[in-house]
Copies of this chain bind each other. A is one copy, B any other.
Amino acid sequence: MAKQERAIRTRQAIVEAAGAVFDEHGYTSTTIAMVLERSDVTKGALYFHFPSKEALAQAVLNEQVPFGIVPPQACKLQEIVDMTFVVGQRLLTSSLLRGSIRLAVDQEAPSRIDHGGPFRQWSERLEELLELARERGELLPTVQPRQTVELLVGCFSGIQLMSRALSGRADLGERLSVLWAHILPSIAVPGLLPALDTRADRGVRVLASPERVAS
């Protein structure tokens, strides 16, 4: 294994461990020693990549958007729908993703950390897709992409929060399905609506499909 590749793997192992510890303990109670123990790397390696707890938290926060990678679809609105269901599904299995979302949502992390980062990153990624959807004639002419994507990001944040509080996220797929049923008629041209798949188990099915993109 080349030196650079090893460094990338070590860094990723640290970020994964930090995400899991932040998920379980939150920012304040997490210590670098806890991350060190979880990640099974040397103290020197950890401090080489991350000089502080703040740097660890910032790295974990920046890891969210790759969890939204989904197989490309001819219909770009379907791709956006798929992103929400896939992120919802991955929340159940990835402690890094849960840790990242906890850091973005909890107020306890110090204000030096950019809590807004993930909100902006998701909005930018979704806006690219929504602009593609517009070019392909999928959107109603009234749609203002920036407003709509920021609404989606805000709604997703709160829906996963409520689902966590009420069902440990078990009903997140159902709640996302309800969101899309209410919002799509204000976004998509009517002819597209019957073809869009927004059933609660969409995330499970996308992740099980053979052409799924590895994450």
Give residues in A with beta carbon < 8 Å to B.
Answer: 26, 28-29, 102, 104-108, 115-116, 119-120, 147-148, 150-151, 153-163, 165-166, 175, 178-179, 181-183, 185-187
Q: Report the minimal beta-carbon distance from A22 to chain B, rounded to whole angstroms.
A: 10
Bound CA–CA A186/B188 (angstroms): 13
Bound CA–CA A70/B183 (angstroms): 26
Given A150-B178, A175-B151, A186-B182: A107 and B157 within 8 A (CB)? Answer: no
- Contact yes or no, B165 A151, CB < 8 A: no
- Contact yes or no, A165 B26, CB < 8 A: no
Bound CA–CA A93/B153 (angstroms): 25
Which of B105, B107, B151, B153 is close to A179, meaning CB atoms less than 8 Å apart? Answer: B151
Q: Which of A29, A119, A158, A187 has the most CB of B within 10 A?
A: A158
Bound CA–CA A179/B115 (angstroms): 22
- Contact yes or no, B150 A175, CB < 8 A: yes
Q: Which residues from chain B contact A102 at a C-beta distance below 8 Å? A: 107
Q: Which residues from chain B contact A105 at a C-beta distance below 8 Å? A: 105-107, 161
**Complex A-B: 8 CB contacts under 8 Å:** A105-B161, A119-B165, A120-B166, A147-B178, A153-B158, A154-B161, A158-B159, A161-B161
Q: Which residues from chain B contact A115 at a C-beta distance below 8 Å? A: 165
Given A157-B161, A161-B158: A182 and B187 within 8 A (CB)? Answer: yes
Which of B151, B161, B162, B166 is close to A178, meaning CB atoms less than 8 Å apart? Answer: B151
Which of B26, B148, B155, B166 is close to A155, meaning CB atoms less than 8 Å apart? Answer: B155
Given A105-B105, A106-B108: A155 and B150 within 8 A (CB)? Answer: no
